[in-house]
Structure 1
Amino acid sequence: MPSGTPLQVGRRIAATRHSRRMTQADLARAAFISLATVKAIERGARAPSDTTLDSIAAALTVDPTHLVTGYTGTERRVHAVLPELSAVLAAYDVPLDPPSRSAEELRAAVTEAVSWRLAAQYARVAQHIAPLLQDSLYHLHSSPAPDAARLVVAAARTADAVACKYGAHDLSARLIDLMRWAAEQSDDALLSASVAYVRTETFFVARAHRAGLRALESAVDMAPQPVCARSGAARGALHMRAAVIAGRAGEASAADTHLSHARALGDEVREDIYGGTAFGPDSVRIHEVSVAVSLGGEYVSRALDVAREWKPSLAIPAERRSGFYIELARAQLWSGLAGDAFESLKVARSVAPQHTREHPWAKEDTATLRRLKRADADSLTNFAEWIGAI
């Protein structure tokens, strides 16, 4: 259940608003609610409804769980939209009524939705993604140009973020099939490479790590040569992903080889979002931690070595930064550093609460820490209740 009195929630909202240098009037305008409502909520005289809380969180560019610990409105919104997404997928090849927005408006909306995915703002994604995917498909049917296919892939990938994170794995697989179909319409090798990167999720879920590694190695072979930042990032991201799944497959030599290729390509570009995927030197460092944890055993110390020398900056997307601290926590726990592991999990929650809450490793490690009782009992119990580990 959500925790925090109306006064505590109001104080969190006010503190977050101040950190954004917004007045109460600014927040009211951005959230499309009255100034009187903002004032009443901030002084604790009124508890925000789920709809109002989502609007305030969106205006403050945070996940609602930053404001109300244990908030479950995001889960409800995500699960409510899954049937709508399924209906869109069922008719992906059937042109329906034309959308109300133009191609330019659609492009802007998809770009914004991608930013929500990267920031792990799943409530905002759930609110808009079904009609956005439908409109993207219409544009592809009416104008089968590479740009239209890219919009479908971007919208479907954004939808997949909530489907996969919230356990709708069959729907996730169907969304990935849709991405592959759209990429085939485009004749765009870079788009196909980005879809191959995303497809790896299905192999992770099925624990088909060796098959996933072979699929990624095939995708690397088909990817364009790294003659520019975009093509270098596309190939580098595939190597980065291949290193992780090679680690999960227990193929240490292949993991090291792919990580070496990713590192070399990452050093050639600046850290940025390429085709919907963050890539660059910092992303490769994050994946070094992931590879070390995936290999386990004697390799875990590599993750601690990376973390001692480097931490991801705020320029890294929230979802990926949160993942770094979740995987670091696992390495710390395996190394007997239970207190450090709990601190890393708390950082992960502060960066991307909903991503942390839905991450299976975060749940597992929290449950282990609670059994070990090697952290402050009250804080750990509260965290375990929040994440659903008890």
Structure 2
Amino acid sequence: MEAMKRANVPGPGANVATLRKDHGFSQVALARRSGVSVSLLSKIEVGDRALTHGVAASLARAMGLTLDELLGRTSAANLADLSHAIRRFDIPGERPTRPELLPSEVAALNRHRWKSELAEVAQKLPSLLTKATNNAHGVSSPEAWTLVADIYSTVYWLAARHRWMYLAELATTKQRLAAERAEPIAAIVALRDDAGTFLNSGDFAGGLALVDRAIVLAESSLRGYDRAFSLGILHLRGLTLAGRLKDKQTVNRHSRSAWRAAAEFQRDVAEHGIHFGQENTATHVMATFSDMEQHRQAVRTAEDLIREGLTLPAIRTAPLYMNMARSQLALGDRDGALDSLETAWNVAPEMTAVHPTSLELTRVLASRHRRSNPRLTRLARGAGIFL
């Protein structure tokens, strides 16, 4: 498979004016229809304010668009091999000659995922998905189908990073089908990822409803370690969704429950490609502070985490720095925001190059700087934004 192509998106906020005009809306009309103030809309369009996911979802709905259409998808690489593997989910093929190696291959895939090595993940997925699916059809064991469901979770993750929502939704559909034949926890992970498609599409209320359903299932079907882990990752998903809605009561409910689950783990663990524990819970709480515009609290939480020494992989560390930059920029600390954004690039360059938050922050920082800044110019070029 070809390597991932870089994003050709000049920052999500820059799309707003173009799409607004294409759909025949004045600023006043779009502001009224979306519930966003004219002043904020104007500042987003010219680059004085960063476009948040919550505001983006409101603007997208007002124009009859999906969130990924407003934020801008990255260019799709050659996905023919991966599409072929997904399409043949129900057509058994030849079993792999050494099926005992599949768990270690999935573990290696997850290591690339945790490092946010998107191109490497994309290259390895088609073959591994085909082998695992063929093996699961052959042995028909819950363990084999759990492995298939875990690989589809990674397909969802890759698609969500690039905002290929058609592929993300297809992946979670196949993931749920695999989970029906797998170990009980696979169904919970599938529902968590399915709620992620609602998050990525801007349907935050729908995602919360799905999380609540998954929590009931986890509480009734799981025990011990699996139950604590499952409830933890579900409450973190609910926390993020509620934060995008600015629903303080629901944010507090999911936050308390996530911390309660995290207390059962002395250190963060990784299961089914997903991290959970006290440190990861803190990164999600910090991001939600930023979504709720509690920016000073967000920065303090991030600084505390960094001071204590982060142990999470790039997949979690880079978003922490992006969200820190978002709050620093909102507080008027442009230099701090640039420092944090540079750190995100250093930690996970492939993810940062396509992430809508980093693209938007780069656009706004460039707009606010009145003179040339070599550091900012370098980041902008890396993201395909030409100043």
Question: Normalising to structure 1: TM-score of the pair?
Answer: 0.76
2:77 is matched with 79
The aligned counterpart of 1:236 is 232
Aligned length: 310
Partner of 1:259: 255
Equivalent position amino acid for 1:212 in 2: G
**Where does residue 128 of structure 1 map in the other structure?**
124
State the distance in 1 between where 2:86 and 2:259 align.
37
Letter in 1 for 2:347: V
Name the SS of the counterpart of 1:79 in structure 2. coil
Q: Which runs of 5+ in 1 are unaligned?
A: 1-74
- Per the alignment, residue 288 of structure 1 pairs with 285
3-state SS, counterpart of residue 278 of structure 1: strand
Q: Distance in 1 between matches of 2:337 and 2:361?
A: 8
Amino acid of the residue matched to residue 95 of structure 1? P
Percent same amino acid among aligned pairs?
25
Shift of 1:303: 0.5
Higher relative contact order (CA 8 A, sep 6+): 2
Separation in structure 2 between the aligned mates of residue 216 and residue 375 of structure 1, nearest angstrom: 47
Quote the residue 2:140 is aligned against. 144
Q: Which amino acid aligns with 2:279?
A: D
Contact 2:149 2:178 in 1 (8 A): yes
One of 64, 71, 93 as aligned partner of 2:90: 93
Cα distance in 1 for residues equivalent to 2:323 and 2:368: 19
Aligned to 1:111: 107
With over 3 angstroms needed to count, the CA separation of the structure-2 counterparts of 1:300 and 1:260, relative to structure 1, is: same
Distance 1:232 1:345 in 2: 33
Which position in structure 2 is the counterpart of 1:166? 162
Q: Find the counterpart in structure 2 of residue 207 from structure 1.
A: 202
The residue aligned with 2:322 is 326
Deviations 1:328-351 (Å, cap 9, x if unpaired)?
Answer: 111111111111111111111111
Letter in 2 for 1:190: I
Which position in structure 2 is the counterpart of 1:278?
275
Instruction: Determine if contact 1:278/1:317 at 8 Å carries over to the other structure.
Output: no
Question: How far 1:162 sits from its partner (Å)?
Answer: 2.4
Residue aligned with 1:195, SS: helix
Name 2:175's counterpart in structure 1: 179
Distance 1:198 1:360 in 2: 19
* Runs of 5+ consecutive residues of structure 2 not aligned to the other structure: 1-73
User: What amino acid sits opposite 2:83 in the alignment?
Assistant: S
Q: Distance in 2 between matches of 1:126 and 1:313?
A: 31
Deviation track 1:190-226 (CA, whole Å, cap 9, x = no partner) reads 1111112222221122200001011001111110467
Contact kept, 8 Å, 1:190 with 1:234, in 2: the verdict is yes
Question: Distance in 1 between the 2:161 and 2:177 partners?
Answer: 22
Deviates more, 1:335-344 or 1:266-275: 266-275
1:301 equivalent in alignment to 2:296: yes
Query: Counterpart of 1:185 in 2: which secondary structure?
Result: coil
The 3 A distance-change label for structure 1 pair 290 and 129 is same
User: CA 1:94/1:289 → structure 2, altered by over 3 Å: closer, same or farther?
Assistant: same
- Following superposition, the deviation at residue 287 of structure 1 comes to 0.4
CA RMSD of aligned residues (A): 1.9
Distance 2:229 2:257 in 1: 11
Give the residue type in structure 1 aligned to 2:204. H
CA-to-partner distance for each residue in 1:2-46, whole Å, 9 max, x for gaps? xxxxxxxxxxxxxxxxxxxxxxxxxxxxxxxxxxxxxxxxxxxxx
Task: Please say if 1:247 is aligned against 2:243.
Answer: yes
The letter of the residue matching 2:289 is A
CA-CA distance at 1:361 after TM superposition: 0.7
Please give the alpha-carbon distance, in whole angstroms, between the structure 1 residues aligned to 2:146 and 2:309: 29
Cα distance in 2 for partners of 1:98, 1:119 equals 30
